Amino acid sequence: MLRVFGYEIRKITSAYVDTPFEETENGKFVNLLRKHSIDLVFDVGANNGTWALELRESGYNGEIVSIEPYQKSYNLLKEKAVKDKKWKTLHCAIGDYEGKTTLYVASNTLSSSLCKMTDKHLEGAKDSKYVGSEKVDVKKLDNYVNKVRGKNVFIKIDTQGFEKRILKGSNLVMPNVKGLQVEMSFKKLYEGEITLFEMLDYINELGFNLQYLNNGFKHEKTGELLQVDGIFYRNHDNLI
């Protein structure tokens, strides 16, 4: 009867019910933020704010700066953040230069990018095709170097192929950065994107160690894993 109205009730496993929060994906993530005394998170490629909201609901109570270029997604993001005094929002893209560029808007919004999509991506997710574009401002994270002084910073980057260029524009803030979350692709899904193994080498050169990977985008038909999120922390930090 409930399916008529679009609902479904099902029994969940006792293993799921009994899993302590600290052993869940969110629990492990927030625990590492606490271990490294993270008190400022840059949420680059925030979309509609879901990631930052889950971070807050998982127990992180420090500052969040969510950054999103797509106007419609930014409007939803701003609504989520408006009552949270420690959650600020910026309407722009982040890169390694200052100026304007074209944002290619995908039908699912999550795949929107400053880079053009490759056929490999479109094959893996038919609902990710571009349906429009809009001009957006591009800034560097280094513009906000004054904000990071005295802070332990974590940067989450989910920008569909533009990740390295964001890191290149973050040289001034990088000394305060203790951790990173970076979306990485096994194969080029966007023009100009570097692949996972190239990104691992690049981030290691910046002084960070890989802590763990979270599965991301999979091919909708074959199940092939196309993207993962890598969690990194400084080499010299005591992580355990």
Residue scoring higher pLDDT (111 or 9): 111
Span 169-180, pLDDT tens digits: 999 999 999 999
Q: What is the pTM of this model?
A: 0.87
d(CA 27, CA 18): 14
The yes-or-no verdict on residue 6 having pLDDT over 70 is no
Confidence of residue 13 (pLDDT cuts 50, 70, 90): low
If DSSP states are collapsed to H, E and C, what string results for 107-122? Answer: CCCCCCECCCECHHHH
Going along the chain from its start, the domains and CATH numbers come out as 27-234 (3.40.50.150)
SS3 category, 92:
coil
230-55-53 Cα angle (round to 5): 120
> 7 near 14, Cβ under 8 Å?
no
